[in-house]
């Protein structure tokens, strides 16, 4: 990445977080880099939803050798002293502990960590008149899984950017709210048991009925524009993640477009029919 000044602190932080995941987390465990070139973020994921133990305020020099051995791989003092921002994101499938490497360690002023997550972010109870049921006809289950993961990734990305560098990325906080509402649309609106049952029967496609707030549907056009913008940032390497493939983009435009179309009173269009139409146009 051309950021050699970050290597030492990045190595210390990764060693601590991976040790922590191996000793106290659950498989699977993975490590990756996200964020931007100016503010690269290292993420370590494990399948445990147990929040990490935040470090104490005492300097490492005040900790005895035996105590240091007991806290190795558990306390996050090293991460707090080798980063400009760090924290943990608690998710449905585990947690991600992340940090932004610093150019040098700061033993006297450890950075406080921030623990965040989806718990408590559920929408308020809505009246039936505020909801709309949409029929997603003959959706590709494989493409749907990719769509769900991509939406969740974008939500996580802008949320963590806003937590770590809100002053440098002033739009991140408002984008996190929009992306979060669409993430909940995909995550909460679809019956996961219905999808799992279809997969267990060997189905490659399924027709799903999704109930979502009308207010969320009104944001979809703006959301699709932001997906294109995010792709452009990824291609320009302004975001350290991959742009969507053409097939992923087509599926997402059809999937989210069905919410807009059916709210306007139009009939559902199956995925295969929509895909053939788009291919003929291109």
> Which pLDDT does position 88 carry in this prediction?
92
Q: Which mean pLDDT values do the consecutive 10-residue runs of the chain (282 residues) have? A: 92 92 90 91 93 63 44 67 91 90 85 74 55 90 88 84 79 75 71 79 89 81 86 85 90 92 93 72 30
**What residues form DSSP beta bridges with 115?**
88
| Global confidence as pTM | 0.69
> Which pLDDT does position 122 carry in this prediction?
44
Write out the two tokens for 207. 């027709």
Class of domain 4-117: alpha beta
Check if the beta carbon of residue 22 is closer than 8 Å to that of residue 73: yes
Residue 173: count of CB within 10 angstroms of its CB = 14
> Which pLDDT does position 44 carry in this prediction?
95
> Which pLDDT does position 121 carry in this prediction?
44
Q: Where are the domains of the chain?
A: 4-117, 128-281
Residues 234-240: contacts with CB within 8 Å, 24+ apart?
237/37, 238/36, 238/37, 239/34, 239/35, 239/36, 239/157, 240/33, 240/34, 240/35, 240/36, 240/37, 240/40, 240/41
């Amino acid at each position: 990445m051309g950021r050699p000044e970050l290597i030492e602190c990045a190595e210390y932080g990764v060693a601590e977080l991976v040790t922590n995941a191996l000793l106290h987390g659950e498989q699977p465990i993975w490590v990756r880099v996200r964020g931007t070139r100016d503010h690269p973020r290292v993420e370590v994921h494990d399948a445990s939803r147990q929040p990490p133990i935040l470090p104490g305020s005492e300097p490492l020099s005040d900790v005895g050798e035996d105590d240091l051995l007991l806290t190795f791989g558990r306390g996050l003092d090293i991460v707090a002293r080798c980063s400009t921002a760090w924290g943990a994101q608690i998710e449905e499938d585990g947690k991600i502990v992340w940090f932004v490497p610093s150019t040098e360690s700061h033993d006297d002023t450890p950075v406080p960590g921030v623990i965040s997550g989806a718990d408590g972010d559920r929408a308020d109870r809505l009246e039936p008149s505020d909801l709309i049921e949409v029929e997603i006809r003959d959706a590709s289950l494989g493409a749907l899984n990719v769509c769900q993961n991509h939406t969740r990734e974008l939500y996580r990305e802008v949320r963590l950017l806003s937590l770590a560098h809100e002053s440098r990325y002033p739009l991140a906080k408002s984008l996190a709210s929009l992306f979060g509402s669409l993430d909940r649309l995909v995550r909460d609106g679809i019956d996961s048991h219905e999808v799992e049952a279809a997969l267990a029967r060997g189905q490659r496609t399924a027709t799903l009925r999704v109930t979502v707030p009308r207010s969320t549907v009104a944001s979809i056009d703006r959301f699709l524009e932001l997906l294109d913008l995010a792709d452009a940032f990824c291609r320009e390497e302004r975001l350290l993640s991959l742009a969507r493939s053409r097939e992923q983009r087509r599926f997402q435009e059809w999937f989210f477009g069905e919410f807009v179309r059916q709210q306007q009173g139009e009939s559902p269009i199956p995925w295969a029919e929509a895909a053939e139409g788009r291919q003929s146009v291109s």
